[in-house]
Amino acid sequence: MVTASLELSGPDASRAYIEAAAAEHPSLLDPTHLLDSLFGVVNIPNVVWIDEDGIIVRPPEPGWPADPAILRPAALQRSGTSSGERADDDDPEAQRRRRLMELLGSGQDRAAYADAIRDWVTNGPDSPYRLAPDEVVAASQPRSKAVSEAAAHFELGNHLWHDGQRDGAIRHFNAANRLQPGNWTYKRQAWSLVGNERVGGERGRFVQGPLPGEEADWPFESDFATDVHKLELGQYYPKTI
Amino acid sequence: MITHHLDIEAAEFTAATGWEIKPEGACKADICVPLGPGAFNVGSTAERLGMAVVHDPNAGMWALGPESFSGRALATAQAPELVLSDLAGNEFRLSSLRGQKVVLVAWAPY
Protein backbone atom coordinates (compact mmCIF):
# COMPACT_ATOMS: atom_id res chain seq x y z
CA MET A 1 0.00 0.00 0.00
CA VAL A 2 1.05 3.54 -0.76
CA THR A 3 -0.85 6.58 0.44
CA ALA A 4 -0.65 10.13 -0.90
CA SER A 5 -2.15 13.22 0.72
CA LEU A 6 -3.55 15.70 -1.80
CA GLU A 7 -2.93 18.87 0.19
CA LEU A 8 -1.21 21.96 -1.12
CA SER A 9 -0.88 24.01 2.06
CA GLY A 10 2.17 22.15 3.33
CA PRO A 11 3.15 18.95 5.12
CA ASP A 12 1.92 20.05 8.55
CA ALA A 13 -1.70 19.71 7.44
CA SER A 14 -1.16 15.98 6.89
CA ARG A 15 1.44 15.33 9.57
CA ALA A 16 -0.85 14.43 12.50
CA TYR A 17 -2.77 11.87 10.45
CA ILE A 18 0.36 10.23 9.05
CA GLU A 19 2.09 10.10 12.41
CA ALA A 20 -1.02 8.74 14.14
CA ALA A 21 -1.27 5.97 11.56
CA ALA A 22 2.41 5.04 12.12
CA ALA A 23 2.16 3.17 8.85
CA GLU A 24 4.90 0.88 7.57
CA HIS A 25 3.95 1.63 3.97
CA PRO A 26 5.09 4.76 2.11
CA SER A 27 2.98 7.72 3.24
CA LEU A 28 3.52 10.43 0.66
CA LEU A 29 2.59 14.07 0.15
CA ASP A 30 1.05 15.25 -3.12
CA PRO A 31 1.11 19.07 -2.87
CA THR A 32 0.31 19.62 -6.58
CA HIS A 33 -2.43 16.99 -6.94
CA LEU A 34 -0.37 14.86 -9.32
CA LEU A 35 -2.81 12.03 -8.71
CA ASP A 36 -5.49 14.12 -10.39
CA SER A 37 -3.49 14.84 -13.53
CA LEU A 38 -1.66 11.51 -13.80
CA PHE A 39 -4.38 9.05 -12.77
CA GLY A 40 -7.66 10.96 -12.94
CA VAL A 41 -8.38 11.10 -9.22
CA VAL A 42 -11.36 13.43 -8.68
CA ASN A 43 -12.32 12.78 -5.07
CA ILE A 44 -10.91 11.41 -1.87
CA PRO A 45 -10.64 8.75 -0.74
CA ASN A 46 -9.82 7.20 -4.10
CA VAL A 47 -7.96 3.94 -4.65
CA VAL A 48 -5.97 2.60 -7.64
CA TRP A 49 -4.95 -1.04 -8.02
CA ILE A 50 -1.67 -1.75 -9.84
CA ASP A 51 -0.34 -5.25 -10.57
CA GLU A 52 3.19 -6.63 -10.36
CA ASP A 53 3.96 -5.52 -13.93
CA GLY A 54 2.96 -1.92 -13.28
CA ILE A 55 -0.37 -2.32 -15.06
CA ILE A 56 -3.38 -0.60 -13.54
CA VAL A 57 -6.12 -3.18 -12.97
CA ARG A 58 -8.64 -0.80 -11.40
CA PRO A 59 -8.61 2.96 -12.12
CA PRO A 60 -9.28 5.50 -9.35
CA GLU A 61 -12.52 4.75 -7.53
CA PRO A 62 -13.95 5.41 -4.07
CA GLY A 63 -12.56 2.92 -1.56
CA TRP A 64 -12.24 2.48 2.19
CA PRO A 65 -10.80 0.14 4.76
CA ALA A 66 -13.37 -2.10 6.45
CA ASP A 67 -13.36 -0.17 9.69
CA PRO A 68 -16.33 2.24 9.62
CA ALA A 69 -14.96 4.21 12.56
CA ILE A 70 -12.63 6.19 10.32
CA LEU A 71 -15.09 6.87 7.52
CA ARG A 72 -15.23 10.42 6.27
CA PRO A 73 -18.86 11.42 6.98
CA ALA A 74 -18.25 11.44 10.73
CA ALA A 75 -15.89 14.35 10.22
CA LEU A 76 -18.01 16.04 7.61
CA GLN A 77 -20.97 16.00 9.93
CA ARG A 78 -19.26 18.75 11.87
CA SER A 79 -18.53 20.86 8.81
CA GLY A 80 -20.22 22.81 6.06
CA THR A 81 -22.31 25.90 6.24
CA SER A 82 -24.23 24.99 9.37
CA SER A 83 -23.59 26.40 12.77
CA GLY A 84 -22.98 22.95 14.19
CA GLU A 85 -25.66 23.45 16.83
CA ARG A 86 -28.07 20.66 17.65
CA ALA A 87 -31.51 20.94 16.12
CA ASP A 88 -34.69 18.90 16.36
CA ASP A 89 -35.90 16.60 13.60
CA ASP A 90 -38.36 19.12 12.18
CA ASP A 91 -35.74 21.79 11.82
CA PRO A 92 -35.02 22.41 8.10
CA GLU A 93 -31.33 22.73 8.82
CA ALA A 94 -31.32 19.34 10.59
CA GLN A 95 -33.15 17.80 7.64
CA ARG A 96 -30.64 19.32 5.25
CA ARG A 97 -27.78 17.88 7.29
CA ARG A 98 -29.39 14.45 7.31
CA ARG A 99 -29.80 14.60 3.52
CA LEU A 100 -26.15 15.60 3.20
CA MET A 101 -25.07 12.57 5.20
CA GLU A 102 -27.36 10.36 3.15
CA LEU A 103 -25.79 11.60 -0.08
CA LEU A 104 -22.26 11.13 1.24
CA GLY A 105 -23.02 7.66 2.57
CA SER A 106 -24.60 6.36 -0.63
CA GLY A 107 -22.94 4.74 -3.63
CA GLN A 108 -19.84 2.61 -3.21
CA ASP A 109 -20.17 -0.34 -0.81
CA ARG A 110 -17.71 0.69 1.88
CA ALA A 111 -17.76 -2.52 3.88
CA ALA A 112 -17.13 -4.71 0.82
CA TYR A 113 -14.26 -2.71 -0.62
CA ALA A 114 -11.41 -4.14 1.44
CA ASP A 115 -12.70 -7.67 0.77
CA ALA A 116 -12.50 -6.97 -2.96
CA ILE A 117 -8.84 -5.96 -2.55
CA ARG A 118 -8.15 -9.12 -0.56
CA ASP A 119 -9.73 -11.20 -3.32
CA TRP A 120 -7.43 -9.64 -5.90
CA VAL A 121 -4.36 -10.06 -3.68
CA THR A 122 -5.21 -13.76 -3.28
CA ASN A 123 -6.42 -14.59 -6.79
CA GLY A 124 -4.52 -12.10 -8.96
CA PRO A 125 -5.59 -12.27 -12.62
CA ASP A 126 -8.41 -14.67 -11.72
CA SER A 127 -10.05 -12.17 -9.39
CA PRO A 128 -13.40 -10.95 -10.75
CA TYR A 129 -12.43 -7.44 -9.64
CA ARG A 130 -9.40 -7.24 -11.94
CA LEU A 131 -10.18 -5.26 -15.07
CA ALA A 132 -8.53 -5.78 -18.47
CA PRO A 133 -6.42 -2.87 -19.77
CA ASP A 134 -9.08 -1.65 -22.19
CA GLU A 135 -11.67 -1.76 -19.39
CA VAL A 136 -9.33 0.25 -17.16
CA VAL A 137 -8.93 2.96 -19.78
CA ALA A 138 -12.67 3.06 -20.46
CA ALA A 139 -13.49 3.22 -16.73
CA SER A 140 -11.03 6.02 -16.02
CA GLN A 141 -12.37 9.55 -15.78
CA PRO A 142 -13.38 11.35 -18.97
CA ARG A 143 -10.83 13.99 -19.93
CA SER A 144 -11.72 16.76 -22.34
CA LYS A 145 -9.65 19.80 -23.23
CA ALA A 146 -11.74 21.65 -20.62
CA VAL A 147 -10.59 19.20 -17.94
CA SER A 148 -6.99 19.78 -19.01
CA GLU A 149 -7.65 23.52 -18.76
CA ALA A 150 -9.06 23.02 -15.25
CA ALA A 151 -5.82 21.32 -14.22
CA ALA A 152 -3.80 24.21 -15.65
CA HIS A 153 -5.89 26.74 -13.72
CA PHE A 154 -5.58 24.69 -10.53
CA GLU A 155 -1.79 24.60 -10.92
CA LEU A 156 -1.68 28.37 -11.42
CA GLY A 157 -3.94 28.82 -8.38
CA ASN A 158 -1.67 26.63 -6.30
CA HIS A 159 1.40 28.56 -7.44
CA LEU A 160 -0.15 31.98 -6.76
CA TRP A 161 -1.53 30.89 -3.35
CA HIS A 162 1.97 30.00 -2.23
CA ASP A 163 3.24 33.27 -3.66
CA GLY A 164 0.79 35.20 -1.49
CA GLN A 165 -1.31 36.32 -4.47
CA ARG A 166 -4.55 35.25 -2.84
CA ASP A 167 -7.07 36.96 -5.14
CA GLY A 168 -5.32 35.71 -8.26
CA ALA A 169 -5.19 32.21 -6.83
CA ILE A 170 -8.90 32.20 -6.06
CA ARG A 171 -9.72 33.38 -9.60
CA HIS A 172 -7.88 30.34 -10.95
CA PHE A 173 -9.48 27.97 -8.41
CA ASN A 174 -12.91 29.26 -9.43
CA ALA A 175 -12.02 28.73 -13.10
CA ALA A 176 -10.88 25.17 -12.38
CA ASN A 177 -14.11 24.45 -10.52
CA ARG A 178 -16.21 25.83 -13.39
CA LEU A 179 -14.32 23.80 -16.00
CA GLN A 180 -14.36 20.51 -14.07
CA PRO A 181 -17.22 20.68 -11.59
CA GLY A 182 -16.98 16.93 -10.92
CA ASN A 183 -13.46 17.26 -9.50
CA TRP A 184 -14.08 17.33 -5.77
CA THR A 185 -10.41 17.39 -4.82
CA TYR A 186 -9.95 20.69 -6.64
CA LYS A 187 -13.07 22.14 -5.08
CA ARG A 188 -12.60 20.83 -1.56
CA GLN A 189 -8.93 21.84 -1.58
CA ALA A 190 -9.76 25.41 -2.54
CA TRP A 191 -12.70 25.76 -0.16
CA SER A 192 -10.71 24.26 2.71
CA LEU A 193 -7.89 26.77 2.27
CA VAL A 194 -10.28 29.64 2.97
CA GLY A 195 -12.26 27.70 5.60
CA ASN A 196 -9.03 27.03 7.43
CA GLU A 197 -8.07 30.71 7.24
CA ARG A 198 -11.32 31.64 8.96
CA VAL A 199 -11.74 28.87 11.52
CA GLY A 200 -8.38 27.16 11.94
CA GLY A 201 -7.72 24.40 14.42
CA GLU A 202 -8.68 20.79 13.84
CA ARG A 203 -11.99 21.72 12.23
CA GLY A 204 -10.84 24.50 9.93
CA ARG A 205 -10.05 22.41 6.86
CA PHE A 206 -13.47 20.76 7.02
CA VAL A 207 -15.25 24.11 6.87
CA GLN A 208 -15.77 24.24 3.14
CA GLY A 209 -18.40 26.91 2.90
CA PRO A 210 -19.25 30.31 4.38
CA LEU A 211 -19.93 30.61 8.06
CA PRO A 212 -23.40 31.92 8.95
CA GLY A 213 -23.46 35.66 8.36
CA GLU A 214 -20.38 35.60 6.13
CA GLU A 215 -22.04 34.37 2.93
CA ALA A 216 -21.37 37.62 1.05
CA ASP A 217 -17.69 37.38 1.84
CA TRP A 218 -17.24 33.80 0.50
CA PRO A 219 -14.90 34.16 -2.50
CA PHE A 220 -15.97 31.03 -4.35
CA GLU A 221 -18.87 30.45 -6.70
CA SER A 222 -20.15 27.53 -4.63
CA ASP A 223 -19.39 25.50 -1.51
CA PHE A 224 -19.38 21.90 -0.35
CA ALA A 225 -22.89 21.59 1.06
CA THR A 226 -24.49 23.45 -1.88
CA ASP A 227 -22.77 21.29 -4.48
CA VAL A 228 -23.42 17.97 -2.71
CA HIS A 229 -27.11 18.83 -2.37
CA LYS A 230 -27.31 19.13 -6.17
CA LEU A 231 -26.44 15.42 -6.50
CA GLU A 232 -28.63 12.34 -6.53
CA LEU A 233 -27.95 9.39 -4.25
CA GLY A 234 -24.87 7.45 -5.36
CA GLN A 235 -23.28 10.25 -7.35
CA TYR A 236 -20.78 11.54 -4.78
CA TYR A 237 -19.03 8.19 -4.32
CA PRO A 238 -20.18 6.19 -7.38
CA LYS A 239 -20.54 2.45 -6.91
CA THR A 240 -17.95 0.55 -8.92
CA ILE A 241 -17.57 -2.67 -6.91
CA MET B 1 3.49 22.40 -15.78
CA ILE B 2 4.20 26.06 -14.89
CA THR B 3 6.50 28.12 -17.08
CA HIS B 4 7.39 31.79 -17.38
CA HIS B 5 7.82 31.52 -21.17
CA LEU B 6 6.82 29.15 -23.92
CA ASP B 7 10.27 28.99 -25.47
CA ILE B 8 11.17 25.78 -23.70
CA GLU B 9 13.33 22.89 -24.80
CA ALA B 10 12.13 19.36 -25.33
CA ALA B 11 14.10 18.14 -22.30
CA GLU B 12 12.30 20.60 -20.01
CA PHE B 13 8.95 19.57 -21.45
CA THR B 14 9.78 15.91 -20.87
CA ALA B 15 10.94 16.49 -17.31
CA ALA B 16 7.72 18.30 -16.43
CA THR B 17 5.17 16.21 -18.32
CA GLY B 18 6.71 12.76 -18.73
CA TRP B 19 6.22 12.96 -22.51
CA GLU B 20 9.49 12.14 -24.26
CA ILE B 21 10.10 13.71 -27.66
CA LYS B 22 11.33 11.08 -30.09
CA PRO B 23 11.55 10.86 -33.91
CA GLU B 24 8.25 8.96 -33.90
CA GLY B 25 6.51 11.61 -31.80
CA ALA B 26 5.71 12.39 -28.17
CA CYS B 27 5.94 9.13 -26.26
CA LYS B 28 4.93 7.98 -22.76
CA ALA B 29 4.51 4.42 -21.54
CA ASP B 30 3.37 2.36 -24.55
CA ILE B 31 1.93 5.31 -26.51
CA CYS B 32 3.52 7.58 -29.11
CA VAL B 33 1.59 10.50 -30.58
CA PRO B 34 3.01 11.69 -33.95
CA LEU B 35 4.03 15.35 -33.93
CA GLY B 36 4.83 15.96 -37.57
CA PRO B 37 8.05 17.36 -39.07
CA GLY B 38 10.17 20.15 -37.68
CA ALA B 39 11.84 21.06 -34.43
CA PHE B 40 10.10 20.71 -31.08
CA ASN B 41 7.57 23.42 -30.42
CA VAL B 42 5.65 23.46 -27.17
CA GLY B 43 2.55 25.06 -28.68
CA SER B 44 2.04 22.53 -31.44
CA THR B 45 3.03 19.63 -29.17
CA ALA B 46 0.53 20.71 -26.54
CA GLU B 47 -2.14 21.04 -29.22
CA ARG B 48 -1.41 17.56 -30.55
CA LEU B 49 -1.58 16.04 -27.06
CA GLY B 50 -4.71 17.97 -26.13
CA MET B 51 -2.92 19.90 -23.39
CA ALA B 52 -4.59 23.18 -22.48
CA VAL B 53 -2.27 26.20 -22.32
CA VAL B 54 -3.48 28.85 -19.87
CA HIS B 55 -1.82 32.25 -19.65
CA ASP B 56 -1.98 34.53 -16.62
CA PRO B 57 -0.62 37.85 -17.94
CA ASN B 58 -0.67 39.49 -14.52
CA ALA B 59 1.51 36.78 -13.06
CA GLY B 60 3.59 36.44 -16.22
CA MET B 61 3.11 32.69 -16.26
CA TRP B 62 1.67 29.94 -18.38
CA ALA B 63 0.43 26.56 -17.24
CA LEU B 64 0.08 23.45 -19.37
CA GLY B 65 -2.62 21.01 -18.41
CA PRO B 66 -2.30 17.24 -18.78
CA GLU B 67 -2.90 15.46 -22.09
CA SER B 68 -6.49 14.91 -23.16
CA PHE B 69 -6.13 13.52 -26.69
CA SER B 70 -7.52 10.09 -25.76
CA GLY B 71 -10.62 11.50 -24.07
CA ARG B 72 -9.77 9.60 -20.88
CA ALA B 73 -7.60 10.37 -17.86
CA LEU B 74 -5.76 7.11 -18.53
CA ALA B 75 -4.72 6.78 -22.17
CA THR B 76 -3.16 3.42 -21.28
CA ALA B 77 -3.40 0.98 -18.38
CA GLN B 78 0.35 1.19 -17.84
CA ALA B 79 0.80 3.07 -14.57
CA PRO B 80 2.52 6.43 -15.02
CA GLU B 81 5.62 7.11 -12.99
CA LEU B 82 4.75 8.92 -9.78
CA VAL B 83 7.48 10.63 -7.80
CA LEU B 84 6.50 12.12 -4.44
CA SER B 85 8.17 12.68 -1.08
CA ASP B 86 7.23 11.69 2.45
CA LEU B 87 7.18 13.89 5.56
CA ALA B 88 10.94 13.51 5.98
CA GLY B 89 11.56 14.63 2.41
CA ASN B 90 12.54 11.19 1.18
CA GLU B 91 11.72 10.80 -2.50
CA PHE B 92 9.68 7.76 -3.46
CA ARG B 93 9.10 6.34 -6.94
CA LEU B 94 6.04 4.24 -7.60
CA SER B 95 8.06 2.18 -10.08
CA SER B 96 10.26 0.98 -7.20
CA LEU B 97 7.41 -1.36 -6.24
CA ARG B 98 7.45 -3.18 -9.59
CA GLY B 99 7.07 -6.90 -8.84
CA GLN B 100 4.54 -6.27 -6.07
CA LYS B 101 0.85 -5.56 -6.13
CA VAL B 102 0.20 -1.93 -5.18
CA VAL B 103 -2.89 -0.33 -3.69
CA LEU B 104 -2.44 3.42 -4.16
CA VAL B 105 -4.70 5.47 -1.88
CA ALA B 106 -5.44 9.16 -2.41
CA TRP B 107 -6.59 10.97 0.72
CA ALA B 108 -6.57 14.49 2.12
CA PRO B 109 -6.91 16.23 5.48
CA TYR B 110 -10.11 17.99 4.45
Q: What is the distance of C-alpha A223 from the center of its chain?
A: 14
What chain B residue is nearest to A195 in terms of C-alpha separation? Answer: B110
Give the single-character DSSP code of A30.
Answer: -
Q: Given a cut of 50, is residue A77 above it in pLDDT?
A: no
Separation between Cα atoms, residue B19 and residue B28, nearest integer Å: 5
Nearest to B72 among A143, A152, A172 (CB): A143
Cα distance from B108 to chain A (closest Cα, Å)?
Answer: 5
Q: CB A159 to CB B95 under 8 A?
A: no
Position A84 confidence tier, pLDDT thresholds 50, 70, 90? very low
For A42, phi and psi rounded to 5 degrees?
-130, 0
Q: Checking phi first, is residue B25 left (phi over 0); if not, alpha (psi -120 to 50) or beta?
A: left
Using DSSP's 3-state secondary structure scheme, residue B40 falls into: coil
pLDDT in tens, A178-189: 999 999 999 999
pLDDT in tens, B17-74: 999 999 999 999 999 999 988 899 999 999 999 999 999 999 999 999 999 999 999 9
Q: Given a cut of 60, is residue A175 above it in pLDDT?
A: yes
Which of the residues B64, B74, B85, B91 would you substitute to probe the A interface, choosing the one with the greatest number of A C-beta atoms within 10 Å? Answer: B74
Long-range contacts, A128-134 (Cβ 8 Å, 24+): A129/A49, A129/A58, A129/A241, A130/A49, A130/A51, A130/A57, A130/A58, A131/A57, A131/A58, A131/A59, A133/A55, A133/A56, A133/B76, A133/B77, A134/B77
Which residue type sits at A115? Answer: D
Q: CB A156 to CB B61 under 8 A?
A: yes
Separation between Cα atoms, residue B70 and residue A144, nearest integer Å: 9
Q: What angle do CA B47, A168, B82 make, to 5 degrees?
A: 50
pLDDT in tens, A36-72: 999 999 999 999 999 999 999 999 999 998 756 555 5
Which residue type sits at B75? Answer: A
Instruction: Quote ipTM for the complex.
Output: 0.96
For B31, phi and psi rounded to 5 degrees?
-120, 135
pLDDT on residue B93 = 98
Separation between Cα atoms, residue A32 and residue A37, nearest integer Å: 9
